[in-house]
């Protein structure tokens, strides 16, 4: 229980209206009973003692210094999308950054400085007004811009735009002890034009594995790079339950190509990249097509489970490379790029398919929430950030392993995952999305799922060199860290200890969450012992 | 005690537990987001800021109630009732998850009444007046139709019944007069019914489903006695209650009711298009249309569901999902667009992205300061658009905006669409 003295001190910082310990309000911040099937929320999720809503960096600093003075642990939360953003320990001071909703856009220099409460939909909408854009990640437009830039920010649009952390121009960072560090352009100037600053530049430290998710202090302000877009307004529309933009087809178009084999698709992606054309590119898992066409969950399952033999054949043979071309500068640019892509397609024997010239997923939405409704929960088994060839290879391995765990995992007819190309071909990406049945409470299935999540999958992730998205912040380090080098776990812990010796910033440490509780859960403990002996 | 499972909080446990916390319930649909200035669709979170005042937060509170972890304290009632039941969460959640968020909120209130802690005092006062007098103002209900112009062409054998509602019958009588004027111009065969009582919206929204059901039965019986099979309303709340809540309370589908419900703008646009209604009087004004939440997001047909969940919680038989997108959205715009002299502008948040005026869900009775804050926020948005008048299709929206504009010394005018249309037809709208 946080002492009243602390509450009174915090109240002086943010004002009476912006802090509460009323149990009815705290109940709404309970980090449990959320549709995340993972131990993070199920086992650790609890209710905070206090919720506080700072307005700016100075208030955050004062809160953090108070927390340090009284040794009170705190959890920062921008938009509450991940379980790690909620209370996971008793006596938690929960910081809700909703009020930190500032956005300053510098159109001339193509950047925007945002506060922690700004989400992608807001940033994108503001950017569009100036003929600019940002990349809304697959996490969705409901997620906060700052933490997402501190992880990876994948989207088919990263094909051209590159990964989100590389678009950080300046950072204002309240360290776990309350000191403020300004990096990048913020270190030397007031705007975010340059992106570099007087050293040391610690932006890489902030990202680390997949971002620290609040356990290494709080980034309260960030300048992010915006990219040039065409200046034609995207028209929002609604049809049935779906909302989407209609593309101005003289400036922006989707092209879906059927490829004769996965190898050809990979060659196709590389050649497009080498030609330096295109705005976005991705392989389309067949299930995505059914999701986008289904009117509801019932409709999806009715069609998805029909004719499994044909579905398996489709998954094997219907290899679709989806490419977005944009005439950023002119209609002629689009016409030119279309000629180039058609020439490459013809050379490789890829066939253009019909597709709707609209987008409800990537430009200003991001579909992680839509993916939720099929089974009540999904998690991504892995994120492979390596070459495109490695992504494809890993996808085949994951598909093979998944067969052994289907059920409890959702039937997907052997699909080999979502892979795409980044940075004009310099890297590839695989995300292997898996759905589990959030509604089936059979303990045996639960145990089988846990075995897959926490033991089999991490091993495969480690072997194929990916990021363990299931357990991104709670995987036992003995699974995850070896792949990053023999000392990675030690190094990460030392960083945490150096910056946050009292473990006040979103404890338990970002790297050790499950390690700290696994022995208290008999079935998981038994599994752990089994796998340690193997 | 309510015996209709569709009104029980337990029925929606799965919906509450399936909420991952994406906050789709509070934002304007992401595709329609226009930036940082007006990002919210949910008025409650705009005003109160803490997550408890969002559907996401209320879901967790409802789980806590079902699990016996929390009780109905005064603060809890503040959280539950400082919500406009405006369907913002319904439209937001249905974009992605198909959870019945609106029913969680309604069932929470019904549960509060069952537990004896609600209706809250401000709502009880209104409900008592309805019980005693038949209208929400406690006025003499025998004078309900005193506004009716002597020259109104009321039929003895109507096809359609105009249900004026409490507000237009006792407070904004000019709206009822305008509506009958429009019906006269449309040449439809209509009547009023003498037994009209409050539609029961305050009863239902306070959580008193039993009283609301009795009100529904009484009004339906009175309507049937006229021999007509169509109800026309000029009030968005009455419209929603007849179309959605009466079938819900009677555990029937909207399509299976013995009557059809239409809004006056739906009647009007048809008769404007076929030339029956002549718009001879220009209305020289820049206007924006405020979509009343009850008319827009809350008026999808109701279909009860009694079934079971299969693998992945699929509904068996398949549930008919309400998504807040089939309400009356285009007709009012078409009416305004057809009036000579009108320069029409869209609000930044419009259609299914509208934000409630702040009065809905009984908030105006219980939390006037809250309502005033939301109304001012909406008027700020209207002024940003650059208009002379904000037009709505609900007398409660009009009242709310009018008060906020007056208190804030704003020059913006606030009208009901019936007033504007009546002006265009007769030149006697008194604008």
Q: Where exactly are the structural domains of chain B?
A: 1-118, 132-274, 278-291+329-431
3-state secondary structure of A175: coil
| Torsion angle (degrees, nearest 10) of CA A333, A338, A339, A345 | 150
- Of residues A519 and B262, more confidence is placed in B262
Residue A115's closest CA among A145, A82, A95?
A145
Tell me the CATH number of domain B278-291+329-431, given options 3.40.366.10, 3.20.20.10, 3.40.50.11810, 1.25.50.10: 3.40.50.11810
CATH number corresponding to A4-96: 3.30.43.10
Q: Does A35 touch chain B (CB under 8 A)?
A: yes
| Of A118, A125, A374, Cβ closest to residue B34 | A125
| 3-class SS shares of chain A: helix, strand, coil, % to 5 | 40, 20, 40
- Of residues A392 and A37, more confidence is placed in A392
CB-CB neighbors (< 8 A) of B20 in chain A: 34-36, 369, 372, 377
Whether residue B56 is predicted with pLDDT greater than 80 in this model: the reply is yes
CB-CB neighbors (< 8 A) of B60 in chain A: 27-30, 33
Residue B99's closest CA among B9, B20, B19, B6?
B19
Across A364-392, average pLDDT: 82
Fold of A103-228: 3.30.465
B303, B253 contact by CB (below 8 A): yes
Q: Do B323 and A241 lie within an 8 Å CB cutoff?
A: yes
3-state secondary structure of B397: helix
pLDDT mean across residues, chain A: 88
Cα dihedral across residues A111, A116, A121, A126: positive or negative: negative
pLDDT of res. B78: 98
The predicted-structure confidence for A118-157, as pLDDT tens digits, reads as follows 999 999 999 999 999 999 988 889 999 999 998 888 899 9
Q: How far is B183 from chain A (nearest CA, A)?
A: 32
The predicted-structure confidence for A57-108, as pLDDT tens digits, reads as follows 999 999 999 999 999 999 999 887 777 778 887 899 999 999 999 999 999 9
| Of A28, A98, A129, Cβ closest to residue B35 | A129
CATH class of segment(s) B132-274: alpha beta
The predicted-structure confidence for B67-104, as pLDDT tens digits, reads as follows 999 999 999 999 999 999 999 999 999 888 889 999 99
B234, B168 contact by CB (below 8 A): yes
| Torsion angle (degrees, nearest 10) of CA A25, A29, A30, A31 | 180
Model confidence at A514, pLDDT cuts 50, 70, 90, reads: low
| Of A99, A244, A410, Cβ closest to residue B49 | A99
Whether residue A35 is predicted with pLDDT greater than 70 in this model: the reply is no
Report the residue of chain B nearest A246, measured CA to CA: B31
Residue A121's closest CA among B40, B350, B46?
B40
CB-CB neighbors (< 8 A) of A241 in chain B: 94-95, 98, 323, 325
| Of A27, A28, A238, Cβ closest to residue B352 | A238
- Of residues B326 and A480, more confidence is placed in B326
Q: Does B305 touch chain A (CB under 8 A)?
A: no
pLDDT of res. A470: 60
Q: Do A30 and B64 lie within an 8 Å CB cutoff?
A: yes
Q: How far is Cα A480 from Cα A462, in angstroms, rounded to an integer? A: 6
Residue with tokens 């945490």: A496
- Out of A354-358, A373-377, A409-413, B54-58, pick the least confident: A373-377
Interface of A with B in 94-123 (CB under 8 A): 96, 98-99, 101, 103, 118-122
The predicted-structure confidence for B311-340, as pLDDT tens digits, reads as follows 999 999 999 999 998 999 999 999 999 999
| Of B35, B75, B98, Cβ closest to residue A24 | B75
pLDDT of res. A152: 82
Q: How far is Cα A221 from Cα A117, in angstroms, rounded to an integer? A: 10
What is the pairing mode between strands B160-163 and B190-191?
parallel
- The verdict on ipTM greater than 0.90 is yes
Q: How far is A391 from chain B (nearest CA, A)?
A: 29
B215, B199 contact by CB (below 8 A): yes
Q: How far is A388 from chain B (nearest CA, A)?
A: 30
Q: Percentage of residues in chain B with pLDDT exceeding 90? A: 94
pLDDT of res. B425: 98
Q: How far is B431 from chain A (nearest CA, A)?
A: 34
A469, A34 contact by CB (below 8 A): no
Model confidence at A361, pLDDT cuts 50, 70, 90, reads: confident
Whether residue A478 is predicted with pLDDT greater than 60 in this model: the reply is no
B126-145 as b/e, with b when 16 or more CB fall inside 10 Å?
bbebbeebbbbbebebeebb
| Of B36, B96, B351, Cβ closest to residue A373 | B96
Whether residue B188 is predicted with pLDDT greater than 90 in this model: the reply is yes
CB-CB neighbors (< 8 A) of B23 in chain A: 79-80, 142
pLDDT of res. A351: 98
Q: Do B50 and A53 lie within an 8 Å CB cutoff?
A: yes
pLDDT of res. A71: 96
pLDDT of res. A46: 86
Contacts of A494 by beta carbon, 8 Å cutoff, 6+ apart:
none
Q: Which two tokens stand for residue A115?
A: 């506060």
Model confidence at A294, pLDDT cuts 50, 70, 90, reads: confident
Q: Percentage of residues in chain A with pLDDT exceeding 70? A: 92
Indicate if B278-291+329-431 has the same CATH topology as B132-274.
Answer: yes
CA angle B400, B405, B408 (to 5 degrees): 120
CB-CB neighbors (< 8 A) of B54 in chain A: 28
Q: How far is A198 from chain B (nearest CA, A)?
A: 32
- Out of A91-105, A372-386, B11-25, B413-427, pick the least confident: A372-386
Model confidence at A189, pLDDT cuts 50, 70, 90, reads: confident
pLDDT of res. A39: 54
CB-CB neighbors (< 8 A) of B24 in chain A: 142, 369
What is the pairing mode between strands B389-392 and B413-416?
parallel
Q: How far is Cα A497 from Cα A363, in angstroms, rounded to an integer? A: 40
Long-range contacts of A193-199 (CB under 8 A, 24+ apart): A193/A106, A193/A109, A193/A111, A193/A169, A194/A169, A195/A168, A195/A169, A195/A170, A195/A225, A197/A170
Interface of B with A in 63-122 (CB under 8 A): 63-64, 69-70, 73, 75-76, 79, 94-98
Q: Do A25 and B30 lie within an 8 Å CB cutoff?
A: no
Upper half-sphere CA count for residue A115 (Cβ side, 13 Å): 19
Domain boundaries, chain A: 4-96, 103-228
Q: Do B32 and A236 lie within an 8 Å CB cutoff?
A: yes
CB-CB neighbors (< 8 A) of B307 in chain A: none
The predicted-structure confidence for A454-477, as pLDDT tens digits, reads as follows 788 888 887 887 777 766 555 555
Q: How far is Cα B370 from Cα B117, in angstroms, rounded to an integer? A: 22
Across B116-121, average pLDDT: 97
B237, B294 contact by CB (below 8 A): yes
Whether residue B396 is predicted with pLDDT greater than 80 in this model: the reply is yes
Whether residue B242 is predicted with pLDDT greater than 90 in this model: the reply is yes
DSSP class of A454 = I
The predicted-structure confidence for B120-140, as pLDDT tens digits, reads as follows 999 999 999 999 999 999 999
Q: Do A238 and B325 lie within an 8 Å CB cutoff?
A: yes
pLDDT of res. A477: 54
Q: Do A297 and B312 lie within an 8 Å CB cutoff?
A: yes
Interface of B with A in 272-291 (CB under 8 A): none
Across A380-401, average pLDDT: 89
pLDDT of res. A466: 79
Q: Which CATH architecture has domain B1-118?
A: Orthogonal Bundle (1.10)
pTM: 0.95
Q: How far is Cα B54 from Cα B23, in angstroms, rounded to an integer? A: 8
pLDDT of res. B129: 98
Cβ pairs A/B, distance under 8 A = 171
pLDDT of res. A111: 97
A506, A76 contact by CB (below 8 A): yes
Q: How far is A363 from chain B (nearest CA, A)?
A: 8
């Amino acid at each position: 229980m946080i002492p009243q003295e602390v509450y009174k001190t915090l109240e002086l910082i943010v004002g009476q209206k912006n802090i509460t310990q009323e149990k009815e309000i705290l109940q709404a911040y309970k980090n449990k009973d959320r549709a995340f099937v993972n131990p993070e929320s199920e086992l650790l999720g609890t209710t905070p003692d206090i919720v506080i809503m700072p307005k700016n960096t100075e208030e955050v600093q004062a809160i953090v210094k108070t927390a340090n003075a009284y040794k009170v642990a705190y959890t920062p939360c921008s938009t509450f999308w991940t379980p790690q953003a909620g209370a996971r320990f008793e006596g938690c001071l929960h910081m809700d950054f909703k009020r930190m909703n500032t956005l300053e856009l510098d159109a001339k220099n193509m950047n925007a400085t945002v506060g922690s409460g700004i989400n992608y939909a807001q940033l994108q909408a503001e950017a569009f007004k100036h003929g600019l854009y940002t990349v809304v990640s697959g996490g969705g437009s409901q997620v906060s811009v700052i933490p997402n830039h501190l992880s990876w920010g994948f989207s088919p649009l990263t094909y051209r735009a590159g990964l989100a952390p590389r678009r950080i121009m300046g950072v204002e960072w309240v360290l776990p002890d309350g000191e403020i560090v300004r990096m990048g352009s913020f270190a030397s100037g007031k705007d975010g034009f340059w992106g570099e600053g007087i050293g040391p530049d610690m932006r890489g430290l902030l990202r680390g594995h997949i971002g620290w998710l609040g356990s290494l202090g709080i980034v309260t302000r960030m300048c992010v790079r915006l990219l040039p877009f065409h200046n034609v307004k995207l028209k929002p529309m609604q049809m049935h339950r779906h909302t989407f933009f209609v593309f101005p087809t003289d400036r922006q178009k989707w092209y879906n190509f059927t490829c004769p084999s996965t190898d050809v698709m990979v060659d196709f992606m590389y050649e497009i990249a080498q030609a330096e054309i295109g705005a976005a590119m991705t392989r389309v898992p067949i299930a995505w097509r059914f999701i986008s066409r289904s009117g509801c969950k019932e409709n999806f399952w009715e069609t998805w489970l029909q004719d499994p033999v044909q579905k398996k054949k489709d998954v094997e043979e219907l290899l679709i490379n989806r490419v977005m071309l944009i005439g950023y500068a002119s209609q002629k640019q689009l016409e030119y790029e279309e000629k180039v892509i058609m020439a490459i397609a013809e050379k490789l024997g890829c066939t253009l398919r019909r597709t709707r010239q609209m987008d409800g997923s990537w430009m200003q939405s991001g579909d992680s929430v839509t993916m939720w409704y099929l089974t009540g929960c999904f998690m991504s088994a892995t994120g492979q950030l390596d070459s495109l060839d490695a992504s494809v290879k890993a996808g085949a391995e994951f598909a093979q392993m998944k067969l052994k765990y289907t059920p409890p995992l959702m039937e997907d007819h052997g699909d080999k995952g979502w892979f795409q190309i980044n940075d004009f071909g310099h890297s590839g990406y695989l995300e292997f999305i898996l759905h589990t049945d959030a509604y089936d409470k059979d303990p045996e299935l639960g145990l089988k799922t846990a075995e897959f999540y926490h033991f089999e999958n991490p091993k495969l992730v480690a072997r194929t060199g990916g990021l363990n998205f299931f357990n991104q912040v709670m995987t036992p380090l003995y699974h995850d860290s070896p792949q990053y080098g023999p000392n990675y776990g030690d190094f990460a812990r030392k960083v945490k200890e150096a910056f946050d010796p009292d473990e006040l910033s979103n404890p338990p440490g970002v790297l050790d969450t499950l390690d700290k509780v696994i022995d208290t859960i008999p079935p998981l403990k038994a599994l752990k012992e089994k796998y340690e002996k193997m | 005690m309510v015996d209709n499972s569709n009104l029980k909080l337990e029925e929606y446990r799965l919906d509450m537990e399936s909420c991952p916390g994406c906050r789709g319930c509070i934002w304007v649909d992401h595709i329609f987001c226009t930036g940082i200035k007006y990002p919210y669709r949910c008025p409650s979170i705009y005003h109160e800021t803490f997550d408890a005042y969002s559907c996401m937060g209320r879901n967790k509170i409802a789980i806590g109630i079902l699990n016996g972890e929390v009780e109905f304290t005064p603060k809890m009632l503040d959280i539950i009732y400082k919500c406009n039941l405006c369907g913002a969460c319904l439209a937001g959640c249905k974009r992605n998850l198909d959870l019945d968020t609106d029913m969680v909120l309604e069932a929470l209130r019904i549960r509060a009444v069952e537990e004896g802690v609600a209706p809250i005092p401000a709502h009880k006062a209104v409900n008592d007046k309805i019980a005693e007098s038949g209208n929400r103002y406690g006025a003499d209900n025998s004078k309900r139709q005193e506004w009716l112009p002597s020259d109104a062409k009321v039929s003895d054998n109507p096809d359609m019944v105009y249900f004026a509602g409490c507000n237009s019958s006792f407070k904004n009588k000019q709206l009822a007069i305008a509506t009958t004027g429009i019906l006269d111009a449309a040449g439809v065969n209509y009547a009023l019914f003498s037994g009209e009582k409050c539609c029961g919206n305050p009863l239902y929204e306070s959580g008193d489903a039993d009283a609301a059901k009795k009100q529904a039965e009484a009004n339906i019986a009175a309507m049937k006695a006229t021999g007509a099979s169509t109800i026309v309303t000029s009030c968005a709340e009455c419209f929603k209650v007849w179309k959605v809540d009466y079938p819900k309370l009677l555990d029937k589908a909207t399509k299976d009711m013995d009557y059809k419900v239409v809004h006056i703008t739906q009647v009007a646009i048809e008769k404007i298009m076929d030339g029956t209604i002549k718009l001879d009087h220009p209305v020289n004004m820049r206007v924006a249309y405020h979509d009343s939440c009850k008319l827009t997001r809350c008026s999808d047909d109701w279909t009860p569901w009694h079934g079971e969940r299969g693998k992945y919680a699929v509904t068996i038989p398949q549930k008919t999902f309400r998504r807040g997108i089939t309400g009356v959205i285009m007709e009012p715009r078409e009416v305004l667009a057809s009036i000579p002299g009108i320069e029409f502008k869209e609000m930044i948040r419009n259609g299914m992205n509208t934000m409630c005026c702040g009065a809905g869900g009984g908030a105006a009775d219980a939390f006037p300061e809250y309502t005033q804050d939301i109304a001012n926020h909406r008027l700020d948005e209207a002024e940003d658009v650059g208009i002379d008048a904000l037009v709505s299709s609900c007398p409660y929206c009009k009242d709310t905006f009018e008060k906020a504009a007056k208190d804030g010394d704003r020059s913006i005018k606030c009208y009901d669409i019936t007033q504007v249309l009546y002006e265009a037809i007769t030149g006697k709208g008194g604008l």
